A = this chain, B = another copy of it.
């Protein structure tokens, strides 16, 4: 019996906001595992802003998804057929399985998932790449010290919401920038941020000045554009700007917007540093243990926004991110997810 695999392939490189026609969703026969391979039935797909950058040609931290290739995605699924010594049918696993129903794997980059510890979506969020990105980006790149002021842009997103909480847990003053009153209330009332600023209302720089009167020691940037410029304008002496993402720029057409006031880095004797989470792979273990401990003690809250659908719903799910519709980690649960 051959399984039918629904696959979402890149059909065209988008200009600006992607259109559904930039992908092609089709049914194909699922592959059968050869020796050393196994087949995964994908149940949960991680939906992340960075996916937009993978659709572009050119030099980046990972190769672009080529037109015709399966759209790259992290996911969690169940091994249903294995000719690999380390994986057996029934295992729940995490890997870059792509936007498709069935994924063939040789085990590269695939790790077991313990859903007795937390539900699968949490393993894509606070205990997954989002949480790891927040953990190493804030602590290793940002190096906040207790009592310092940490500002996070995109604070209601999957990475930002964790980064701000880790700052708070480490004794910092955590300030979030997010879009909308509901998100801001959530950050302060449920996640324990010291303050949240709705960038859609009023003057961002003035409100940053009011909330961070002594300046920003760590600016954890997921947004770029005006948010980054506002952060740069309020840096404390010796501040660290952590470049995690630039969601405001991912769909820009024409000239991208660099931070016009980048020379504030000189004025503040500050640094702006980029990082890529994959470089920390050999330390994921320590971070997951710490994140799970904080989750268990209730110090860290995780929110996953789980959308149920099928492979063909992926384009709409991704676009929701750029419309600012999600709070926390966006996950697409494929029909029949366990």
Which residues of A approach B to under 8 Å, CB–CB? 59-61, 224, 229, 233, 243-244, 246, 249, 255-276, 279
Partner of A261, one of B256, B260, B264, B269: B256
- CB–CB A243/B265 < 8 A: yes
- CB–CB A266/B260 < 8 A: no
- CB–CB A258/B260 < 8 A: yes
- CB–CB B267/A59 < 8 A: yes
Nearest B residue (CB) for A61: B267
| Residues of B with C-beta under 8 A to A276 | 266-267, 269
Partner of A262, one of B61, B258, B271, B275: B258
Partner of A263, one of B224, B260, B267: B224
| Closest Cβ–Cβ distance, residue A247 to chain B (whole Å) | 11
| Residues of B with C-beta under 8 A to A274 | 263-271
| Residues of B with C-beta under 8 A to A224 | 263
Nearest B residue (CB) for A275: B269
**How many angstroms between the C-alpha atoms of A74 and B237 in the bound complex?**
25
**How many angstroms between the C-alpha atoms of A260 and B228 in the bound complex?**
13
Given A258-B258, A260-B255, A260-B257: A275 touches B267 (CB 8 Å cut-off): no
**How many angstroms between the C-alpha atoms of A267 and B243 in the bound complex?**
10
| Residues of B with C-beta under 8 A to A263 | 224, 243, 246, 249, 274
Copies of this chain: 2
| Residues of B with C-beta under 8 A to A260 | 255-258
13 contacts across the A-B interface (CB closer than 8 A): A59-B267, A60-B267, A256-B261, A257-B258, A257-B260, A258-B258, A258-B262, A259-B259, A263-B274, A265-B273, A267-B276, A269-B279, A272-B273
| Residues of B with C-beta under 8 A to A258 | 229, 257-262
| Residues of B with C-beta under 8 A to A259 | 258-259, 262
- CB–CB B266/A275 < 8 A: yes
| Closest Cβ–Cβ distance, residue A320 to chain B (whole Å) | 23
Nearest B residue (CB) for A279: B269
**How many angstroms between the C-alpha atoms of A262 and B258 in the bound complex?**
6
Nearest B residue (CB) for A271: B273
Q: Which 10 residue pairs of A and B lie closest in terms of their CB atoms, listed nearest first?
A: A266-B274, A258-B258, A265-B274, A271-B273, A256-B260, A258-B259, A258-B260, A272-B272, A61-B267, A243-B266
**How many angstroms between the C-alpha atoms of A266 and B61 in the bound complex?**
8
**How many angstroms between the C-alpha atoms of A256 and B260 in the bound complex?**
5
**How many angstroms between the C-alpha atoms of A225 and B184 in the bound complex?**
36
- CB–CB A262/B262 < 8 A: yes
